[in-house]
A and B are shown apart, each in its own frame.
Chain A
Amino acid sequence: MTDTPTTNTPMLRSQDIDGALLEVDDLHVHFASRGKLFGTTPPPVKAVNGVSFSIAPEKTFGLVGESGSGKSTVARAILQLVDIQSGTIRLAGDDVTKVPPRDELDFRKNVQAVLQDPFSSLNQVHQTRTIVGDGITRHYGTKAGAARDERVGLLLDAVGLSCEFLDRYPYEMSGGQRQRISIARALAVEPRLIIADEATSALDVSIQSQVINVLRRIQDDSGVSFLFIAHDLEVVKHVSHDLGVMYLGYLVEKGDANAIYDAPTHPYTEMLIASIPMPDPVVQAARRELRQTFEDDAEPPSPANLPPGCPFENRCPVAMDICREVMPEPTPAHHGGDVRCHLHTSGPELAGESVVEFIKTKAQSKLSGSQRSNDKSSAQ
């Protein structure tokens, strides 16, 4: 291991990036199912299927989805923690799909992460000065000592913690404090992209807001880009400029965050929005009715055994016959991104417009007595 800074051969050749900071193109990640030592291996779990998106400098891309949607796997693939099946990942134009070991330090310096679990993501045997300082030593060669502590102190200050935290162990801190230490650790190497994977999900709402404010302040100050991953669409929308919605490994919709929230083009996105309970009894009563449009007891298919068609088909209130057979390709949508849903090209041919009114109409006609199977055929 060398202590010499390697920053003199930066992987990022251009400091002023014209295009996107991060481009993910047609990413596939499969996990081989764990076979026995002697015996056959079951089919692989298709965790990520053809995901493409990009993040502009100084912007936040939000990735939302429920458990099993593959959103964390996308993060782990970008972070080189899992092997990918196919696809390319570019950082400031350079292909980093598979970073060779000699460039790894460069890559790590540019891409950092804040991980989900505030308990598990910090090593219980180390003090804050080591947790945050290790990266400084690794990337800048500053050995442990007063100089490094001073730098760590500045980072703690940036995340709203006092210098007294330097000699504290993770178990002496609260969940919110631990997540701020994680942020300080990521900031320590001055990255250009921070991946926040469910970074606030384990926290109380009041504490979650504190951490989100810290993230936003950091973006304003340093111009870092974020990939913000969470299951809570409300939070993701709040912090993100652009938004992607994942369902069972597919990126079903992506585009401008506010535009998607206001007028989703994919039925699943609408289902997610309708499911968020609003802290207002009157508003929520109306929401509840909207949500009940989607009510069904079907469970999502297993990612090890995906159907040939759209994986949302069996839960979709406006599914058509084609949905069962063919996985829709991305088509452009009104919010500047794209959507993977047949409704835009066949059936009502919504052509990238909001799906909300269509679902409402459908739901009303369903309530007025017609059977769902009739609905489906008439939708063609």
Chain B
Amino acid sequence: MSESELEPTIEETPPPKADSPRQRFWKRMVRNPLALFSMVWFVILIVSWVWPELLATHDPFKQDVTLQRLFEGPSGDHWLGTDGLGRDHYSRVVFGAGFAFRSIFIAMTIAIGIGVPIGLFSGWRGGRIDRAIMWVNDVLFSLPIILLAMAVIIILTPSLTNAMIGVGIAMATRFVRLTRGVTLAEKEELYVDAARITGISVPRILARYIAPNLLPSLIVQAAIISGAIILIGATLSFLGIGASLDDPDWGVMLNRARPDFRREGIWQIMPSGGALVLTVLAFNLLGDAIRDAIGRDASSNALTITKRVSVAAASTSHAEGDDLVISVRDMDVEFPSAKGPVSEILNGVSFEVRAGETLGVVGESGSGKSMTMLSALGLTPAPGRMTRGSVNFLGEDVTNLTEKAWQSIRGKEVGVIFQEPIAVLNPAMKVGAQIMEPLRIHMGMSKAEARTRAVELLTEVRVPDPARRLDQYPHEFSGGMAQRVGIAMALACEPKLLIADEPSTALDVTVQGQILDLLAEIQTRRNMAIILITHDLGVIAEAADRVLVMYGGQVMETGSVEDVFFRPKHPYTKALLDTMPQNHSGDGELAVIAGIVPQPTAWPTGCRFAPRCVHATDSCTSTMPPLLTVNTDVVRCLRHGEEGFDLAQPASGTEVLS
């Protein structure tokens, strides 16, 4: 399914105001327990930094001169025990927070102060200057940070501040990369062009347009780098070349514990080590949480197979006939959403396709065309699932087929062609290997046999020089040639059914014709059934025998191609036809369909098309029309059959030709 299919759409007056990005961000942050943990930990740390005396119970430098209380474990007096000089661990850990934050402050000021301006400049300038800057940056980037810090320390003498200057310079390379990457990407966004066209000056574009888009990833990166700075600072202090060896710095505490921990027990490293790990962890979790709160939810992928649910039976029976390839009855598909109700993406979808026949499926973006076909093949994207209906394929009930069983049908009995021809080819695999894949899986061919057959297939779809093309990678193909490869792959095992989901939409119009001709030619030769999904009624007019019109996840009507174009039964079909510029004569305004496809979470009550329908009556907005059977076809309109309700088109074409 294409992205735009799920795009929420409204028109004229906007929907109720949603949460602002900031509100939504904080809501998500507060709901995330890990984020909450890190925020609480930071509050404690910040108090320790600003006002350590408030939390500390002892003087962190005070040694036990009596030598009585060395290497102690936790006690009522010393909550976290004492070190080799009898100093209170707990108080030293509290004071250590200050060292950690000072380190971050110094290193981060340098890193962001140097990195962000250079990155912005380099990304915006582009060209050779950018490449030169990035080359130098990458050299520094690939050197170990500790080594760079050591270089600065040896020049300036060991101290935590000097170490952090070195770390800051090293970390600046991270910010250069990030800022430059974002700037380079944002610069290509059309809104930057639009700002330039408006006359906004470059510094202002950087500050007001690009910087806000940079900020989220900058904050995420800063959180994670803060953790890294503490780690590196602790390592340098542990090595004795960071903070002074008396300071209550966490790294120094570990340094002091090193000679003795094997003898005196592991407890000696626990307070400082624990504080260190918790703080770094808190920074990392915070970074992750911010990223999640900003970004999209990526908890499912193409492999995620939704848990099976019992599919309620269809209430109507399947069509009959030996030439029946696929028959779908009363299919409902639902998407549970994190908040709010389950949304019903498809409702009561029924259709069938016979051998040698092309069913054209048409409707606006968001009408459920692609979802219908994916669901019929058991490919409903997670977390969606089919909750009702029945699918019959080549005479067998495949409604409840397992993924494993589907594997032997997909690619063999049914082929699929997708909209984006390049994106559906694996960029890291030779095109030949991808065409040979179904042949080897389903036909059990040897490598050599599959290769011979692949050459034949590419010849059949008229790819010039097929043998050489097999050894090329997808990026060496133009869109049109890649789509031919897509067709060859879909047809490799001579399927009985071909599903073509917008096969020519992404292609140039002169290439589109070639692809449609190719499909028609192969269909005739193989007597194959085709389901052709498209938003273009012109394509339907050329290639379809029968038409399925969809809107709002429902079937609006079916009919022969002549019926649908010359005698539409549903006002939606009629409206679609009227909006085509080709059907517009004269100079006046183009016909439109007011408003836009509603969102699946908010289907209108009654007929889903009623709010945009010029023929809608009161009952249309209150009663959901049933799917009426008219001869062998269906229509979902309350006013169908009403006296004087006639949507017939003037059959212009017929006159021209006869």
| Residues of A bordering B, CB below 8 Å | 1, 37, 66-67, 76, 79, 81, 104-105, 108-109, 111-113, 115-117, 120-125, 134-135, 138-139, 160-162, 164-165, 167-169, 172-177, 182, 185-186, 189, 202, 204-210, 212-213, 216-217, 231-235, 238, 271-272, 274-288, 291-292, 294-295, 297, 299
**Is B10 located at the chain interface by the 8 A CB criterion?**
yes
Which residues 1-51 in B have Cβ within 8 Å of A in the complex? 4, 7-15, 17-18, 20-21
Q: Specify which chain B residues have a CB less than 8 angstroms from the CB of A124 in the assembled complex.
A: 213
**Is B244 located at the chain interface by the 8 A CB criterion?**
no
- Contacts A138-B198, A216-B589, A238-B581 known; 14 new A-B pairs at CB < 8 A: A37-B135, A66-B510, A108-B197, A116-B190, A123-B212, A189-B198, A206-B593, A275-B510, A276-B509, A277-B538, A277-B539, A288-B513, A292-B517, A299-B478
**Is B301 located at the chain interface by the 8 A CB criterion?**
no
Q: Give the docked Cα–Cα distance between A256 and B107 (Å).
A: 66
| Residues of B bordering A, CB below 8 Å | 4, 7-15, 17-18, 20-21, 128, 131-132, 135, 189-191, 193-201, 204, 209, 212-213, 364-365, 462-464, 478-481, 508-510, 512-514, 516-517, 535-542, 561-562, 565, 575-577, 579-584, 589-594, 596, 651-654, 656-657
Q: Specify which chain A residues have a CB less than 8 angstroms from the CB of B576 in the assembled complex.
A: 205-206
Report whether A168 and B538 are in contact in the complex, using a CB–CB cutoff of 8 Å: no
- B15–chain A nearest beta-carbon distance, Å: 7
Check A280/B191 contact, CB under 8 A, given A161-B12, A175-B4, A177-B11.
Answer: no
Partner of B197 from the list A112, A175, A208, A286 (CB cut-off 8 Å) is A112
Query: How many inter-chain residue pairs (CB < 8 Å) link A and B?
Result: 228
Q: Specify which chain B residues have a CB less than 8 angstroms from the CB of A272 in the assembled complex.
A: 509-510
Q: Give the docked Cα–Cα distance between A284 and B15 (Å).
A: 40
Q: Give the docked Cα–Cα distance between A182 and B191 (Å).
A: 10
Q: Give the docked Cα–Cα distance between A184 and B464 (Å).
A: 48
In the A-B complex, the 9 residue pairs with the closest CB atoms: A277-B538, A108-B199, A282-B653, A121-B190, A209-B590, A279-B537, A206-B593, A283-B653, A174-B9
Check A278/B541 contact, CB under 8 A, given A109-B199, A176-B596, A297-B462.
Answer: yes
Partner of A162 from the list B13, B135, B514, B656 (CB cut-off 8 Å) is B13
- B335–chain A nearest beta-carbon distance, Å: 19
Q: Specify which chain B residues have a CB less than 8 angstroms from the CB of A286 in the assembled complex.
A: 656-657
- B572–chain A nearest beta-carbon distance, Å: 10
Report whether B10 and A177 are in contact in the complex, using a CB–CB cutoff of 8 Å: yes
A-B contact pairs, 13 of them (CB 8 A): A81-B197, A120-B189, A134-B195, A135-B198, A168-B17, A172-B15, A175-B9, A176-B11, A202-B4, A275-B509, A282-B657, A283-B541, A288-B517
Residue of B204, B509, B536, B576 with most chain A CB atoms under a 10 A cut-off: B509
Q: Give the docked Cα–Cα distance between A116 and B193 (Å).
A: 11
Partner of A113 from the list B197, B209, B480, B653 (CB cut-off 8 Å) is B197
Report whether A279 and B592 are in contact in the complex, using a CB–CB cutoff of 8 Å: no
Q: Specify which chain A residues have a CB less than 8 angstroms from the CB of B128 in the assembled complex.
A: 37
Check A173/B513 contact, CB under 8 A, given A115-B193, A209-B592, A277-B536.
Answer: no
Q: Specify which chain A residues have a CB less than 8 angstroms from the CB of B565 in the assembled complex.
A: 279-281
Partner of A125 from the list B135, B190, B213, B479 (CB cut-off 8 Å) is B213
Q: Give the docked Cα–Cα distance between A97 and B11 (Å).
A: 40
Q: Specify which chain A residues have a CB less than 8 angstroms from the CB of B365 in the assembled complex.
A: 204
Interface of B is mostly: helix
Q: Give the docked Cα–Cα distance between A161 and B478 (Å).
A: 40
- B354–chain A nearest beta-carbon distance, Å: 19
Check A283/B656 contact, CB under 8 A, given A122-B191, A185-B198, A189-B198.
Answer: yes
- B225–chain A nearest beta-carbon distance, Å: 23
- A57–chain B nearest beta-carbon distance, Å: 19
- B600–chain A nearest beta-carbon distance, Å: 14
Report whether B11 and A276 are in contact in the complex, using a CB–CB cutoff of 8 Å: no
Report whether B509 and A279 are in contact in the complex, using a CB–CB cutoff of 8 Å: no
Check A299/B480 contact, CB under 8 A, given A113-B194, A212-B590, A281-B561.
Answer: yes
Report whether A288 and B542 are in contact in the complex, using a CB–CB cutoff of 8 Å: yes
Report whether B510 and A271 are in contact in the complex, using a CB–CB cutoff of 8 Å: yes
Closest to A195 in B: B197
Closest to B190 in A: A121
Q: Specify which chain A residues have a CB less than 8 angstroms from the CB of B537 in the assembled complex.
A: 205, 279
Report whether A123 and B656 are in contact in the complex, using a CB–CB cutoff of 8 Å: no
Residue of A116, A271, A278 with most chain B CB atoms under a 10 A cut-off: A278
Check A125/B212 contact, CB under 8 A, given A162-B14, A212-B590, A231-B509.
Answer: yes
Report whether A279 and B577 are in contact in the complex, using a CB–CB cutoff of 8 Å: yes
Q: Give the docked Cα–Cα distance between A29 and B508 (Å).
A: 23
Q: Give the docked Cα–Cα distance between A271 and B591 (Å).
A: 27
Report whether B199 and A139 are in contact in the complex, using a CB–CB cutoff of 8 Å: yes
